[in-house]
Amino acid sequence: MKILAIESSCDEFAIAIMDDGKLLCNVISSQIDQHKEYGGVVPELAARLHLQNSGWVLREALEQSKINIEDIDMVAYTAKPGLIGSLIIGKVVAETIAMYINKPLVPLDHIEGHIYGAAIDHNFEYPVLAMVVSGGHTQIEIVNSPMDFKIIGATEDDAIGECYDKVARVMGLEYPGGPLIDKLAQTGNPERYKLPLAKNDDSYDFSYSGLKTATINLIHNAEQKGEEINKNDLAASFQKSAIEIIKIKLNRAIEQYRPKTLTVAGGVSANSLMRKTILELGKDHNIKNTIIPEMSYCTDNGAMIAKLCYEKEMFQNKNKIR
Ligand code: KG4
Ligand code: ZN
């Protein structure tokens, strides 16, 4: 079964082709350089650039996979959530291909896709506990099968990646600031600045606006007083607070749900402290199947959508036969 999958929910237009679960290509056109000068993603520009990029990305994907478009059995695409203009371009391209080759069209969820990014090179044993950390989402999900996702907690305001990017902007760093804060934090002292933990309560929900405001206020207060902020120490202190609360809540969620697989998904899963934290949690709770996705499957890509589509198909076919 050959699946062509399109991901276009934000500022990446990406196409992957997967053959019976084996990835044949994972082509991504990123727009980071074009959005950098505005300090964040401009939705209108993202959609326009998708229009420009979709043609060559498709040609490149077919070329790398060494297959003809007629050989595709199924076309999957990210239907939600995301920027509406960006999503529409992906949907139209997917629909056009599916109509041309007269094959099924499969609309999929971006967050579910991120979770299955971790399953591209590894096997999931269910239930899976997935920590989703991206620019738009922060949520804990229990996955019982590729058809059964349960959100047990989510952010009430800013997502963790959004918080990273907004703090980074005030620190004078380029978009996307998340990876730059991560880099600065490597040589910083995480105990230097005292910052609050985001929503340290009994729920599995998160709230990152308090940490964002506290960090930005700290920078502004120092500026007013003419004091120098140590960027490495601030990055390390911010990162410690941002991820400590995830550790606290996951500790509790693991005790309650006893998952067979622990994983992390979304752009912020590329973060070094996040990866270390998840591995430590897996070790502490003796979860042998603790999966940290490959770096190339952390941020938006088509491979994760292809894998989600493949696993859903396999699951549905298995249950049909029974
Ligand atoms: O999943 P993604 O590519 O797009 C969304 O669906 O949102 O995530 C992008 C987010 C951005 O906020 C970016 O700053 C963050 O992931 N990010 C990181 C790192 N790499 C990417 N945040 C912290 N540390 C990183 N190493
Ligand atoms: Zn994403």
Taking the C-alpha atoms of residue 72 and residue 62, their distance in angstroms, rounded to an integer, is 10
Query: pLDDT value at position 296?
Result: 92
Taking the C-alpha atoms of residue 128 and residue 134, their distance in angstroms, rounded to an integer, is 18
What tokens does 96 get? 């056009």
Taking the C-alpha atoms of residue 202 and residue 200, their distance in angstroms, rounded to an integer, is 7
- Tally the C-alpha atoms within 13 A of residue 9's C-alpha that lie toward its C-beta: 25
ipTM associated with this complex: 0.98
Which bound ligand lies closest to the C-alpha atom of 35?
A: 1
Q: Cα torsion at 250, 255, 256, 257 (round to 10°)?
A: 80
In the chain, what are the domains? Answer: 2-116+298-321 (3.30.420.40), 123-293 (3.30.420.40)
* Residues 150-178 pLDDT 10s: 999 999 999 999 999 999 999 999 999 99
User: Is the shortest distance between the CB of 267 and ligand 1 below 6 Å?
Assistant: yes
Alpha-carbon Rg for the chain in angstroms: 20
Residue nearest (by alpha carbon) to ligand 1 atom 14: 178
User: Is the shortest distance between the CB of 184 and ligand 1 below 6 Å?
Assistant: no
Which bound ligand lies closest to the C-alpha atom of 12?
A: 1
Taking the C-alpha atoms of residue 111 and residue 114, their distance in angstroms, rounded to an integer, is 5
Residue nearest (by alpha carbon) to ligand 1 atom 5: 135
What tokens does 42 get? 């401009």
Three-state SS for 181-203 is: HHHHHCCCCCCCCCCCCCCCCCC
* Residues 13-42 pLDDT 10s: 999 999 999 999 999 999 989 998 898 889
What tokens does 160 get? 């963790």
* Dihedrals phi, psi of 50, to nearest 5 degrees: -60, -40
Q: Best mutation site among 165, 184, 268, 298 for ligand 1, i.e. most ligand atoms within 8 A of its Cβ?
A: 268
Q: Is 285 annotated as a binding residue?
A: no
Average pLDDT over residues 273-296: 97
* Residues 205-233 pLDDT 10s: 999 999 999 999 999 999 999 999 999 99
Which bound ligand lies closest to the C-alpha atom of 162?
A: 1
Q: Where are the beta strands (DSSP E) in 92-177?
A: 105-109, 128-133, 138-145, 148-154
Cis omega before residue 127 (within 30°)?
yes
